[in-house]
Amino acid sequence: MGEIEGIVSGVLEDVRTAGDAAVARYARKFDRSDLTEFEVGPTDREAALDALDPQTRADTEFAIDNVRAFAEAQRATIAPLDMEIRPGVHLGHRVIPIARAGAYVPGGRYPLLSAPIMTIVPAKVAGVDEVIACLPPNAHPAMIAGCHLAGADRIFRIGGAQAIAAMAYGTETVPAVDKIVGPGNAFVNEAKRQVFGAVGIDQLAGPSEIYILADESGDPEMIATDLLAQAEHDVRTRVGLITTDEMLARAVEDEVARQLNELATVDVAAAAWDDYGEIAVCADEAAMIAYSDHIAAEHLQIHTVDPHALALRLRNYGSLFIGPLASVVYSDKCCGTNHTLPTMAAGRYTGGLWVGAFLKVATHQWLEPEGVAAVAPPAVRQSRSEGLDGHRRAAQLRLDRLQIG
């Protein structure tokens, strides 16, 4: 067992058995917080809201409006179903919101006001009855205001693995949830991995990623700027250019070096570029597409002569940014698509967080006598061939009661 895995396992078990007392111990140990009451009450919520700079509040509400509108449009595409698949056999599904969701809101070095928007707003649009938000005790007060504006029903000052444990198992004050969403550090990620099964999770998030596909039409300054904008997230951010033009590749490399000299976050961005930066020159567009689909980047931008045509040929990515005017920063902050996205090539099998993540599509069926006449005989025969006598009897009983066959 690795060090992080072992630490997290202990935290989870302590919180599961000791509840709030364990949460308080870990708050003192990891967050240097002596809080004994974790919930942010109405007075503190209002105080955080009042302290929010008016322009920051307006910008936050702008982002909330966009994320909500897009989530509502997505929700409208998910419809219930009822059909008669053959005479007398009726099948269907209902679209059911989960009852309670937990949103982990990371603290980090800066107050990321977009974080609660991306997890809380889609849950409320989905119709989740209660959304619980947890954020570290030392999180910026503006983050409490962000949770409030996004629609969190209850907010708790609990961070790290202990927050995941509290939401997964419940404590005296924190209710157990059905699904936990939201990114965090390595301890939060490991905690989500370990509680999965007892509760649902959205995904396991790795370091952020951006790749840009470009041909000879690419603008070196713009490409370098977008790469470094993402690189400043974390020293482990993966950033890359995939291009069919060697001259562009060299120009972007030079431009990254130039911009790093004037970037305020150079310590982080330069480390990410040095350790995880990549420029790949491909023989043609087909090779560029194949390599991109192999990478399955979290964020994928297209800077080509016909970006919309190329977009239709791509399969694996977290979110796609078509054309040079579309930047990851707009999605990260406020344009409406969700920024909680698959990393570490998970884009090969899943998309990002969305309103559907908070919905269950649950099937149902009902039969009329003619439907029983159609499906029971093969069910009887299959059950007999499999040696499942109870199954056979259950299928046969309905035939017998209806005096069919």
The predicted-structure confidence for 39-54, as pLDDT tens digits, reads as follows 999 999 999 999 999 9
Instruction: Specify the pLDDT at position 193.
Output: 97
Give residue 109's pLDDT: 64
Q: Strand order in 200-201's β-sheet? A: 154-157, 130-135, 100-104, 179-181, 200-201
Q: Which helix (H) or strand (E) holds 29?
A: helix 20-31
Answer yes or no: is pLDDT of 108 > 90: no
Q: Which domains does the chain have, with CATH numbers?
A: 3-201 (3.40.50.1980), 209-351 (3.40.50.1980), 368-401 (no CATH)
pLDDT at 403: 80
Region 325-346: mean pLDDT is 96
Q: Which residues are catalytic?
A: 298-299
d(CA 36, CA 28): 10
Q: 231-249: per-residue pLDDT in tens?
A: 999 999 999 999 999 999 9
Assess contact for 355 and 122: CB atoms under 8 A. Answer: yes
Mean pLDDT of 15-36: 93
Q: Report the chain's terminal Cα–Cα distance, integer Å.
A: 60
Range of weakest confidence among 121-125, 139-143, 281-285, 360-364:
139-143
Mean pLDDT of the chain: 96
Across 47-76, average pLDDT: 97
The mean pLDDT of 163-177, rounded to a whole number, is 98
> CA-to-CA distance for 217 and 186, rounded, in angstroms?
39
Give the C-alpha distances (Å, rounded to integers) separating 161 from 191, 339, 362, 373, 380: 5, 22, 31, 54, 50
**H or E element that contains 397:** helix 389-401
Of 244, 301, 252, 294, the closest CA to residue 277 belongs to: 252
Per-residue pLDDT tens digits for 340-369: 999 999 999 999 999 999 999 999 999 999
Specify whether the CB–CB gap between 154 and 199 falls below 8 A. no
Residue 9 has what pLDDT?
Answer: 96
Q: Which is more confidently placed, 37 or 307?
A: 307
Residue keyed to tokens 């995904």 = 203
Q: Which ranges in 207-358 belong to alpha helices (H)?
A: 220-231, 246-260, 266-276, 285-295, 307-311, 328-333
Q: Which amino acid is at 260?
A: L
- pTM here? 0.94
What is the percentage of the chain residues whose pLDDT exceeds 70? Answer: 99
- With beta carbons less than 8 A apart as the criterion, state whether 130 and 153 touch: yes
What are the tokens at 111? Answer: 């107050």
Write the DSSP string, 326-394.
Answer: --HHHHHHTSSS------TTGGGT-----GGGGEEEEEEEEE-HHHHHHHHHHHHHHHHHTT-HHHHHH
Report the C-alpha gap between 131 and 117 in whole angstroms: 12
pLDDT at 404 over 80: no
Contact 296, 345 (CB under 8 A): yes
Sequential DSSP letters for 122-151: HHHHHT-SEEEEEE-TTS-HHHHHHHHHHT
User: Which residue, among 281, 39, 230, 11, has the nearest Cα to 147 in the 3D structure?
Assistant: 39
